[in-house]
């Protein structure tokens, strides 16, 4: 009789706390370790990240690189907001993990993407992320249209250099540099620079 080999799931856990909320770190880690033990998975990487609202999460990126190298089969997090910086970021990383065949579990929301229901949730989250992008796009377009209707100038404000002809004209007419700067709403240094 041929022996039956069962592949043990290799798991990475990711815990992140803000600089002001570090006391929850042990709680997160304990809950995730217990979950991994209950599932009879093998913990191969444990990542802790501390920081408030950081755009870059280097430790999370290290975990993603390990996932890309297929060093694990699943990632467990305490909460979705601990993993994703924003909804689009969350969707893109979850989609990448799904495409890599890496399972994802969020304990607090009871989302387990190793199940059919969990995999369906990724699809729903993608729909919501697309909806959010569309809503933002529509609000921006409406805001631009409203500003134009009110006669507001759009784009970057004019720089002082665009007023060079006026500066030279006023100076020829006897205005001093400080008066020109006040009149045109630019710095005295800009006026001096244009008159050199």
Contact present, 41 and 74 (Cβ < 8 Å): yes
Which residues contact residue 78 at a Cβ distance below 8 angstroms, ignoring those fewer than 6 apart?
Answer: 15, 28, 31, 32, 106, 107, 108
Is residue 168 within 8 A of residue 175, CB to CB? The reply is: no
Distance, CA of 64 to CA of 61 (rounded, Å): 5
Catalytic hit among 18, 169, 178, 187: 18
Rg (CA), the chain: 28
How many angstroms separate the most distant Cα atoms in the chain?
106
Extended beta strands in 82-150, E state = 103-106, 111-112
Look up tokens 């990487």; give the residue.
45
Q: Is position 106 annotated as part of the catalytic site?
A: no
* Residues labelled catalytic: 18
């Amino acid at each position: 009789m041929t022996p039956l080999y069962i592949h043990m799931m290799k798991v990475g856990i990711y815990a992140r706390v803000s600089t002001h909320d570090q006391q929850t770190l042990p709680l997160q880690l304990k809950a995730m370790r217990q979950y991994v033990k209950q599932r009879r998975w093998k913990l191969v990487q444990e990542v802790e990240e501390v920081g408030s609202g950081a755009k870059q999460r280097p430790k999370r990126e290290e975990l993603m690189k390990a996932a890309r190298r297929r060093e694990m089969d699943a990632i467990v997090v305490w909460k979705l907001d601990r993993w994703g910086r924003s909804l689009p970021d969350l969707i893109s990383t979850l989609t990448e993990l799904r495409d890599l065949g890496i399972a994802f579990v969020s304990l607090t929301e009871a989302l387990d993407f190793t199940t059919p229901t969990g995999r369906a949730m990724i699809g729903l989250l993608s729909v919501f992320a697309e909806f959010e992008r569309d809503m933002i796009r529509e609000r921006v377009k409406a805001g631009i249209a409203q500003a134009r209707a009110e006669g507001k100038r759009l784009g970057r404000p004019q720089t002082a250099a665009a007023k060079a002809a006026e500066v030279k004209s006023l100076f020829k007419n006897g205005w001093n540099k400080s008066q020109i700067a006040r009149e045109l709403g630019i710095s005295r240094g800009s006026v001096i620079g244009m008159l050199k």
